[in-house]
């Protein structure tokens, strides 16, 4: 296998430390940007050549935004950073003894520091056969497929009504009552009640049903109970049928079965969407098996207070891929911790280069927000003051007021992504 290096390196000068960052998400890009002024050579590796602002994927999925509105080339973000290279490739192996990363192209990347920040993917809890029937939402490709299914459901109903005088129920079933599920359900309700209401001659999109199923006792279970209650009430005002305590037992073409308090139920579904679970990227498993490296039940790598696996001080695991506990609780897989972890890695490498002791990582929680349709949200604010807030008049999706407020919630300032390009986006990314 070929070993990749910088062809412009002066062979007479001392070799600089090589930092390989796998993943161009929030954590990876913050780590790369934080290393801009250090005497290191940075290589960012990602399977895609663009960074996706995941918090707004649901608006792409419902045709409110274009994919170009939430994606930006990684090369564009890092183009002014002279010590950074970008490779579009996939990591298929990690040799911790020789400190090399194997790529799918056959090349190998040597490293002095390795940063793993490849995020999470969908989890169907052992029912992988459900995936083609109920797509999840993690990538631009996922969003485009969901948009295709939702819009096609209306088109097929219009055609069948015109040809046969009837059409199957336009039921949209969202499985999972976390932030992604709540946002999807609210957005679908918006397009059926508002945006598409006058676009069809033979069907009435406003008569569509949007059902949100969750196996737990309340939606937004990670939020305080009062915000969960307000979120459910807001969803119901939008016409969303919220069914908590409903454990999905089967998913088929055009239907969903669930076990609830009233027994088994079967729901006809024109479109079924999955927002019920996530699991860590499989990349962490390349570091080794227990007891060398330990994992939680989601496949996240358990790290110490310097974000390292045991006895691997040169390897950092960040974002959704990391299981890091603070004050007895796991730090959530959202944008704020991911970005702070990326910034921290740059600080640690700077400390190493300066011969200083490494500080411990400490997550600073600024709060979180989930939007519900075009005119409401719930927010748990932790900084600069503590409050539980709901019912914000956010304006229509895509408006400057929505973007500026939501960007600050997600990143602490309305300036993501770093570098040239769009600066307006939504709340913290979800694992």
From the CA atom positions of the chain, what is the Rg in Å? 23
Alpha helices in 256-371 (DSSP H): 335-353
pLDDT per residue as tens digits for the range 382-409: 999 999 998 764 444 444 334 434 444 4
Per-residue pLDDT at 6: 59
Q: Could you say which of 4.10.1240.10, 3.40.50.80, 3.30.450.20, 3.50.50.60 is the CATH number of the domain covering 18-122+279-365?
A: 3.50.50.60
Q: Which of 3, 131, 183, 268 is catalytic?
A: 183
β-strands 71-73, 50-52 pairing: antiparallel
pLDDT per residue as tens digits for the range 255-273: 999 998 888 999 999 999 9
| pLDDT of 251 strictly over 90 | yes
Per-residue pLDDT at 394: 45
Q: Say whether 205 sits in a helix, a strand or coil.
A: helix
3 noted as active-site residue:
no
Q: For residue 295, what is the DSSP state?
A: B
Burial class from Cβ neighbours inside 10 Å (0-12, 13-18, 19+) for residue 363 reads: middle
Q: 117 with 318: CB under 8 angstroms?
A: yes
Give the integer Cα–Cα distance in Å for 364 and 387: 16
Q: Say whether 354 sits in a helix, a strand or coil.
A: coil
**Cα dist. 131→124, 172, 348 in Å?**
7, 16, 40
The average pLDDT across 226-231 equals: 96
Per-residue pLDDT at 11: 52
- Hey, do 18-122+279-365 and 128-275 end up sharing a CATH topology, with the first three levels equal? yes
Q: What is the mean pLDDT of the chain?
A: 89
Domain residue spans in the chain? 18-122+279-365, 128-275
**Cα dist. 403→45, 227, 406 in Å?**
29, 22, 5
pLDDT per residue as tens digits for the range 140-193: 999 999 999 999 999 999 999 999 999 999 999 999 999 999 999 999 999 998
Per-residue pLDDT at 426: 35
Q: Which of 33-47, 124-138, 302-316, 391-405 has the lowest mean pLDDT?
A: 391-405
Q: CATH top-level class for 128-275?
A: alpha beta
More confident residue, 328 or 393: 328
Per-residue pLDDT at 8: 47
Query: What is the full DSSP assignment across 87-116?
Result: EE--EEEEETTTTEEEETTS-EEE-SEEEE
Q: Which residues pair with 251 in a beta bridge?
A: 256
């Amino acid at each position: 296998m070929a070993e990749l290096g910088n062809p412009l390196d002066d062979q007479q000068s001392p070799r600089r430390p090589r930092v390989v960052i796998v993943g161009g998400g929030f954590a990876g890009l913050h780590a790369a940007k934080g290393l801009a002024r250090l005497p290191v050579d940075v290589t960012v590796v990602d399977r895609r050549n663009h960074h996706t602002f995941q918090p707004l994927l649901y608006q792409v999925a419902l045709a409110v935004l274009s994919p170009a509105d939430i994606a930006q080339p990684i090369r564009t973000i890092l183009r002014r950073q002279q010590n950074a290279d970008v490779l579009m490739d996939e990591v298929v192996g990690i040799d911790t003894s020789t400190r090399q990363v194997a790529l799918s192209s056959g090349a190998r990347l040597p490293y002095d520091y390795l940063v793993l920040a490849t995020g999470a993917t969908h989890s169907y809890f052992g029912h992988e056969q459900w995936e083609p029937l109920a797509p999840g939402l993690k990538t631009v490709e996922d969003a485009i497929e969901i948009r295709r299914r939702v819009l096609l459901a209306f088109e097929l109903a219009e055609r069948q009504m015109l040809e046969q005088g009837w059409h199957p129920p336009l039921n949209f079933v969202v499985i999972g009552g976390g932030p992604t599920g709540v946002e999807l359900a609210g957005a679908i309700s918006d397009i059926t009640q508002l945006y598409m209401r006058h676009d069809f001659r033979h069907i009435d999109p406003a008569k569509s049903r949007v059902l949100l199923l969750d196996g737990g006792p309340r939606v937004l279970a990670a939020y305080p109970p009062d915000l969960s209650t307000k979120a459910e009430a807001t969803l119901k005002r939008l016409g969303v049928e919220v069914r908590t305590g409903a454990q999905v037992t089967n998913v088929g073409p055009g239907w969903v079965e669930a076990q609830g308090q009233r027994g088994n139920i079967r729901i006809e579904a024109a479109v079924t969407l999955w927002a019920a679970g996530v699991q860590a990227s499989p990349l962490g498993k390349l570091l080794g098996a227990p007891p060398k490296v330990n994992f939680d039940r989601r496949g996240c790598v358990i790290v110490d207070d310097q974000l390292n696996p045991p006895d691997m001080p040169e390897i950092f695991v960040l974002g959704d891929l990391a299981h890091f506990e603070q004050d007895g609780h796991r730090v959530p897989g959202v944008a704020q911790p991911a970005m702070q972890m990326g910034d921290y890695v740059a600080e640690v490498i700077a400390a190493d280069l300066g011969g200083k002791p490494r500080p411990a990582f400490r997550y600073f929680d600024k709060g979180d927000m989930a939007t519900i349709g075009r005119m409401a949200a719930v927010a748990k604010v932790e900084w600069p003051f503590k409050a539980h807030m709901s019912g914000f008049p956010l304006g229509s999706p895509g408006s400057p007021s929505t973007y500026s407020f939501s960007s600050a919630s997600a990143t602490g300032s309305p300036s993501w992504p770093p570098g040239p390009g769009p600066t307006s986006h939504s709340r913290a990314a979800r694992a």
